[in-house]
Amino acid sequence: MSELLQTVLDSPERNDLRQFASDLRHQPQLYLLRNDILTAFGTYCSNNQKDAEFCQSSPLAKLIAKVQEIIREDGNLCLVIRPQIATQEAYWLTEDLTVERLSIQELLDTRDRFVNHFHPQEGDVLELDFQPFYDYTPRLRDPKNIGKGVEFLNRYLSSKLFQDYKQGLEALFNFLRLHQYNGSQLLINERISSAEQLSIQIKKLLAYLSDRPADEPFESLRFTLQEFGFEPGWGNTSSRIKETLNILDELIDSPDSQVLAAFLSRIPMIFRIVLVSPHGWFGQEGVLGRPDTGGQVVYVLDQAKSLEKQLQEDITLAGLDVLSATPKIIILTRLIPNSDGTRCNQRLEKVHGTDNAVILRVPLREFNPTLTQNWISRFEFWPYLETFAIDAEKELLAEFSGKPDLIVGNYSDGNLVAFLLSRKLKVTQCNIAHALEKSKYLFSNLYWEESESNYHFSLQFTADLIAMNAANFIISSTYQEIVGTPESVGQYESYNCFTMPDLYHVVHGIELFSPKFNVVPPGVNEQVFFPYTRTEDRMMGDRDRLESMLFTDEDPASVFGTLDDPNKRPIFSMARLDKIKNLTGLAETFGQSLELQAKCNLILVAGKLRVEETNDREEQSEIIRLYEIIDRYNLHGKIRWLGVRLSKSDSGELYRVICDRQGIFVQPALFEAFGLTILESMITGLPTFGTQFGGPLEIIQDGVNGFYINPTHLEETAQKILQFMEKCEQNPNYWYEISTRGIDRVYSAYTWKIHTNKLLSLARVYGFWNFTSQENREDLLRYLESLFYLLFKPRAKELLNQHLERV
């Protein structure tokens, strides 16, 4: 039994538990989530005049704080307790306080009965269980180390690999013999025929190099190195070659995790990378602000640029310029024939600011040209992914003149395509979810059938399960994206155990303690987003144009609202108009606070101004709601709503213009997986208020370099902003203090240089792990293929048939 539960039952608070449970049985709600439970307990404490210590620190209070959900059934309570991160237990609690542990299957059956109004369903449903496939892989033990997979794996490999010294050395030797570039052998040649000889030759070559000038270029040493058995890839100078060989020599003689990581980081094994982002409008101009774009496009483009730069650096340092080696990055997306003036109808587009990174757009097959020649929402995109992957494979092989070395998926659909491609090409697969829809929509799995016509969660969640289990490694932007906080369940954690009634039960959906998870936050484009104080890098013409657009221009096609007093301090926000981004919630917060209206103007840059300009249902709904809020609170003269699409450079300058007026940036999302706009605003120097639900908790240090807000508590949010304004009035330096600390925070932890170094290090380590571990993933991959062909594909075909009927 749960220690927390047993402690309460053995204490005088047993009667309080009985009474509280009785109160819950008389509530109208049959299914209570954590906030409902905490509210009910607060009411119980108030009604029974409990003191503060009981309400906050008693054994019962500690138990209630860990209860994630309660389901009432036939007078009994099903308690789902989360005693620690990544752990869940379920119990029945009867009226006489008898406690019975529930298995995972029994818990899922209970949830099913609730959805089906407690009428048991006929027969069983499919059970999905991935646990057996992780039984033979190493696992982390401590939840706090989740997301540090590569560190664990380096330790594991360095100890495990050389337990049998001869076998470990042989595996390392065979791994080094693998690597080539365009048919040219790298690292070691046929003159070194065994692992023992490798060790001997390293020492001989080190002795030879000890007398060579440190800056002697590889070109002049190349033929001598070949005689020793070594090919290009060790370094571009004598000193660099010696460093690399010394690291390998130390690794062979005394294996150590740090030495292994240092050596693998130098191996030239990645030259060609695919970044998969198939849905939405993917381009460099004219796409931001459209549905299914925004932060995703910015992230992938910046990542591509940084990867190319870092790979070129690595290639040069490895001495591969003699082979004219160059990296190539392909962003794989879909071609949209009716591209609405954008370049999304062009097959190839070079990425600005790169030498050899391109956007490759592959068209969808014309099952129904009315749909496939136009943009398709990410919720409707599923039927086209398999044929897209088949066609993309041919295009990629042609563009690379061979196979890629790494495939990185983005979002649920991109990750599924990455699975299909990596499975076929036998290439390392990396997944980046950015945001998993399951945790964004309340009860999305329980009531999937009710929302299937709009969201098709049965396809999305199945795709997520397939891709995340297939991936060789997974990148998350934050720790809590994986396993949440002590109070809340993480996005990946939510896939560990769930039901989709009448479709399937997920008994064990993902191994959270697997070393495949790594926290690698994105960076921010420092050429576009930089501090407002760097006036020498700012274009004053752009500044003046954007200032007019933000505060004074009257263009009814792109701006709604005029400001009575444009000189008030601006509250600024920029996001898509959808429910999760919650810009309407920020407008309502502003509308309810007369004090905020007296001190500030609200400036929103958000999508479209008119319902007829978009086909996105959520955006249409939010447009209507925003107008209603403006009218209800009479915000005319106090709000500006800009329905504009901005270039990246304009986005950066927009933040700086708000900085010039000592404004603030508010990110009011109901949930934010990471929060790229928070990085952008902070690095420009704009004091930032970010949602406490999601990634911003790990970016912002509350009260130090920014502020948390609970966007569901409107009055509390308004008060927090007002307190900041008052402090600025009392201390003219306060705005500058928060501004400066925000800038420092981003530069210390969130740059693309840090991100790409870590990503490439991961790819090399996991490539080495796959080769040396002899791990048999074929059984897992076959299981995943079965899910794809027997579960995902038939449902995708049903959706495709619906699409074929549309005019």
Q: What is the CATH number of the domain that holds 569?
A: 3.40.50.2000
Residues 6+ apart with CB under 8 A from 162: 168, 169, 255
User: Within a domain: residue 671?
Assistant: yes
**pLDDT, the chain, mean:** 93
With bands split at pLDDT 50, 70 and 90, how would you rate the model's confidence at 407? Answer: very high
Same domain for 369 and 471, yes or no, is yes
- Segment among 133-137, 451-455, 701-705 with least mean pLDDT: 133-137
Residue 614's pLDDT is 87
Same domain for 217 and 281, yes or no, is no
Domain count, the chain: 4
Same domain for 405 and 345, yes or no, is yes
> In the predicted model, what is the mean pLDDT of residues 532-542?
90
User: Within a domain: residue 316?
Assistant: yes
> How far is the C-alpha of 240 from the C-alpha of 218, rounded, in Å?
9
Which percentage of the chain shows pLDDT scores above 90? Answer: 81
Q: What is the pLDDT of residues 15-27, one digit of tens each?
A: 999 999 999 999 8
With bands split at pLDDT 50, 70 and 90, how would you rate the model's confidence at 693? Answer: confident
User: Within a domain: residue 128?
Assistant: no
> In the predicted model, what is the mean pLDDT of residues 595-623?
91
Is residue 308 pLDDT above 90, yes or no?
A: yes
Residue 173's pLDDT is 94
Q: How many CA atoms lie within 13 A of 308 on its CB side?
A: 21
Same domain for 642 and 725, yes or no, is yes
> In the predicted model, what is the mean pLDDT of residues 678-684?
95
User: Within a domain: residue 769?
Assistant: no
Residue 286's pLDDT is 87
| CATH (domain of 193) | 1.20.120.1230
Picking from 525, 487, 699, the residue whose alpha carbon sits closest to that of residue 35 is: 487
User: Within a domain: residue 613?
Assistant: yes
Q: What is the pLDDT of residues 194-225, one digit of tens each?
A: 999 999 999 999 999 999 999 999 999 999 99
- Segment among 488-497, 551-560, 793-802 with least mean pLDDT: 551-560
Is residue 366 pLDDT above 60, yes or no?
A: yes
Same domain for 459 and 553, yes or no, is no
> DSSP state, 674?
S
Helices (H), 537-640: 540-551, 583-592, 594-599, 617-632
Q: Tokens 């000889």: give the residue.
A: 197
Same domain for 596 and 550, yes or no, is yes
- DSSP characters for 168-193? HHHHHHHHHHT-EETTEE-SB-TT--
Same domain for 344 and 426, yes or no, is yes
Same domain for 558 and 677, yes or no, is yes
Same domain for 64 and 24, yes or no, is yes
Residue 551's pLDDT is 94
Same domain for 192 and 318, yes or no, is no
User: Which of 102, 125, 145 is where one domain is finished?
Assistant: 102
| CATH (domain of 77) | 3.10.450.330
Q: What is the pLDDT of residues 114-125, one digit of tens each?
A: 998 655 556 688
According to the per-residue pLDDT averaged within each range, which of 359-363, 433-437, 770-774, 777-781 is highest? 359-363
User: Which of 102, 117, 142 is where one domain is finished?
Assistant: 102
User: Within a domain: residue 552?
Assistant: yes
Picking from 472, 726, 498, 509, the residue whose alpha carbon sits closest to that of residue 598 is: 726
Angle at 476 between CA 578 and CA 150, to 5 degrees: 175
Residue 131's pLDDT is 95
User: Within a domain: residue 226?
Assistant: yes
Same domain for 311 and 249, yes or no, is no
- For residue 738, the enclosing domain spans 535-750
Same domain for 219 and 346, yes or no, is no
User: Which of 750, 784, 801 is where one domain is finished?
Assistant: 750
Is residue 807 pLDDT above 80, yes or no?
A: no
User: Within a domain: residue 807?
Assistant: no
